[in-house]
Amino acid sequence: MSDLFVECGATPAADLIAAQQADGLTRADPSTAGVDADAIVEFLNDVEAAGLDLHAFMLHRNGCVVAEGWRWPYRPDRPRNLHSVVKSFTACAIGLALEEGLFKLDDKVVSFFPEVAVEPNQGWLTAMTIEDLLTMRVGHAGETSGAEWRSLNTSWIAEFFKIKIVHEPGTAFMYTSAASYMLSAILSRAAGVTLHEYLKPRIFEPMGIVGESWDIGPDGINPGGNGLIARTADLLKLGVLHAQNGVWEGKRLLPESWVAAATSAHGEPVKYGYHWWTRPDGTYSAIGKFVQMTTVFPLHGATLAVTGAIKGSAQLLSHIDRHFPAAFRDQIRDQIRDDIEDGAAADARLKARLADWQSPDAPAAWKEPFQRAGAATDGARAPGQTQRFVMHPNRQGVSALQFEFTGETCVFRLTDVQGEHVIAAGLGRWLEGRTNMPGSDLHHGYEFDNSPVVARACWLDNTRLQMTWIFPETAFRDTVICEFSGKTITFKREVNINGGALRHDDLTGSIET
């Protein structure tokens, strides 16, 4: 087998445990921390019954991780593109910078950018403060998504000041990643280092957050609102730090007053804090697109972190509300329902439920049509056969597709103006490799560069080949259908979730002669 890809099966239990322990967090059984493990099983059952694609979760209570699970092929050691949930990391930096006297909440945004020329009709712009950025009350009429700016090579600071202000700053809520970017830009101007460099010795290193990376925009500034790649455990740690009022392992990392202010609502009707979403019941959350989220239950000393590919946090929050905080018990053996024999038995049931998650064949809503299909070829393309197709002009700029069928493997090659891009898919089995396959318009503006991919292929019938490409460090999963008819091909590609289009225009081509 090629060194470029390996067969991908269930993660061995020993490897999974080692990866979990590498995050430095203490583990305990749910029942020892007053958590009803059966309530967690019911939560998972309801999430799956609703067809929600939950990839991982970690539950922390009373100083320990008491439950955690990763659906195959996601693992605790895999980093994750965390999207807008990282806004709450950015808020940490602002709180620390305020404590260090680098600036004040009522400092005007324009004061940090003397190179910006303010037009006479932009009076409201000069009134905008750092606090307006934190509370998403900058006066914009609409949201600026991170995906909108990721394709720009020009200054994002300049782009921000081009946005029309239609409301007096501080008066109208409008969620926008542009505000988070400007907080990062201000921090960089004031501290002389990037947001990432500023947080690393103050927050990341003390909490054991390692191996993370953060995108850099054309201004040399971290986006602030997205672009951080870190583990699910690191997302959990963010929530736990706030649940513990800014203290980590006995050391204060954030001012207690800042934690209280950041996680309290500022204004109505949207109950938004300083880059945290707050709720009337006292819980608060850091939330990212496609539901990367950490939720703190202050009254119960608990924090829940999840990652997935779900359209809209409200769908998952409804299930969280149904099962948490009801799962938290002070005396689990006395208070759980009568039909549960004891806490230890419930712990065992949850452990068995989560062990199933690590199987490539575990049921999941998205796998169902794939599993109904044939696992191997029906003679449509013989082993050892290679076919190359020249593609008709198209908006994706794809010039050629090539298929190499070797034993139980289909090596797929796509050629465009950037060169050749390869994914190896097992026929009836999963292979893991790395790829730079293009498709940023399907992946919320993100380009893949040597990114892990887990891929499988099967013949739906004698003329249709289906490939599934899972990008396990992201929320994205592509489904590709190749329809062969004589000497022609139709290539169809779609994605499970996106901030924009969910599919490309179909491509057509003819076999190379």
Is position 285 within any domain? no
Say yes or no: 40 and 96 in one domain: no
- Other C-beta atoms closer than 10 Å to the C-beta of 416 total 15
Q: Of all helices (H) and strands (E), which one includes residue 150?
A: helix 146-150
Query: pTM for this structure?
Result: 0.92
Q: Residue 263 falls within a domain, yes or no?
A: no
Q: What is the pLDDT of residue 370?
A: 47
Please report, as a single letter, which amino acid is at residue 238.
L
pLDDT of 404 higher than 80: yes
Of 339, 357, 375, the one marking the end of a domain is: 357
Q: 87-99 vs 177-191: helix axis angle to the nearest 10?
A: 40
Q: Are residues 400 and 381 in the same domain?
A: yes
Q: What is the CATH number of the domain that holds 420?
A: 2.40.128.20
Does one domain contain both 396 and 344?
Answer: no
What sign for the dihedral angle of Cα 44, 47, 50, 54?
A: negative
Residues 343 and 458 in one domain: no
Task: Specify whether 194 is located in the same domain as 68.
Answer: no
Q: Given this model, what pLDDT does residue 6 score?
A: 77
Q: Residue 321's pLDDT is what?
A: 93
**Are residue 18 and residue 120 in the same domain, yes or no?**
no
**Within a domain: 278:** no
Query: Count H helices, E strands: the chain?
Result: 15, 22
161 inside domain = yes
Q: Give me the pLDDT at residue 367, please.
A: 67
Beta bridge partners of 458: 466
Distance CA 401, CA 2 (A): 20
Q: Report the distance separating Cα 415 and Cα 208, nearest Å.
A: 41
Over pLDDT 90: what percentage of the chain? 82
Residue 3 — pLDDT band, cuts 50, 70, 90? very low
Q: Give CA–CA dist 441/469, Å, rounded.
A: 16
Q: What range does the domain containing 481 cover?
A: 365-511
Q: Read off the DSSP letter of residue 204.
A: I
Which residues make Cβ contacts (< 8 Å) with residue 287, sequence separation at least 6? 84, 85, 277, 293, 313
Which tens digits make up the pLDDT trace of 417-437? Answer: 999 999 999 999 999 999 999
**Do residues 502 and 406 share a domain?**
yes
Per-residue pLDDT, 119: 72
Q: Which residue has the higher pLDDT, 80 or 5?
A: 80
379 lies in the same domain as 488: yes
Query: Mean pLDDT across the stretch 351-355?
Result: 94
DSSP labels, 46-103: HHHHTT--EEEEEEEETTEEEEEEE-TT--TTS-EE-GGGGHHHHHHHHHHHHHTTS-
Dist. CA 376–CA 392, nearest whole Å: 29
Query: Tell me: the pLDDT tens digits for 124-150?
Result: 899 999 999 999 999 999 999 999 999
With 80 as the cut, is the pLDDT of residue 81 above it? yes
φ/ψ (deg, to 5) at 435: -155, 160
CA distance 266 to 313: 21
Summarised one tens digit per residue, pLDDT across range 283-329 is 999 999 999 999 999 999 999 999 999 999 999 999 999 999 889 98
Within 13 A of 283's CA, how many CA atoms are on the CB side? 18
Identity at 140, one-letter amino acid code: H
Within a domain: residue 148? yes
Tens of pLDDT, residues 207-249: 999 999 999 999 999 999 999 999 999 999 999 999 999 999 9
Q: Over the chain, what is the mean pLDDT? A: 91
- Cα separation of 246 and 254, whole Å? 4
Question: CA torsion sign, 157 to 159 to 161 to 164?
Answer: negative
**CA–CA distance, 73 with 432 (Å, rounded to integer):** 10
Per the DSSP assignment, residues forming a β-bridge with 479 are 468, 494
Assess whether pLDDT exceeds 60 at residue 54.
Answer: yes
Q: What is the pLDDT of residue 120?
A: 61
Residue predicted with more confidence, 370 or 147: 147
User: What's the pLDDT band for 458 if we cut at 50, 70, 90?
Assistant: very high
Distance between the two ends of the chain, CA-based, in angstroms?
29
Based on the domain organization, do 331 and 383 belong to the same domain?
A: no
247 occurs within a structural domain: no
The pLDDT-based confidence of 362 (bands split at 50, 70, 90) is confident
- Which of 206, 229, 252 is the C-terminal boundary of a domain? 229
* Same domain? 131 vs 154: yes
How high is the pLDDT of residue 156?
Answer: 96
Residue written as tokens 């318009």? 441
What is the tally of structural domains in the chain? 3
Residue 390 lies in a domain: yes
Crossing angle, helix 313-323 and helix 37-49, to 10 degrees?
150
- pLDDT greater than 90 at residue 387: yes
Residues 338 and 442 in one domain: no
| DSSP states along 309-362 | --S-HHHHHHHHHHHTTTTB-SSHHHHS-TT---HHHHHHHHHHHHHHHTSTTS
| Residues paired with residue 181 on neighbouring β-strands, in sequence order | none
Same domain, 451 and 377: yes
* Helices 343-357 and 37-49, axial angle in degrees (round to 10): 30
Give rounded-to-5 percent helix, strand, coil for the chain. Answer: 30, 25, 45
Q: With 70 as the cut, is the pLDDT of residue 373 above it?
A: no
**For range 15-44, the mean pLDDT:** 89
Note whether residue 312 is domain-resident.
Answer: no
Domain boundary among 172, 203, 229: 229
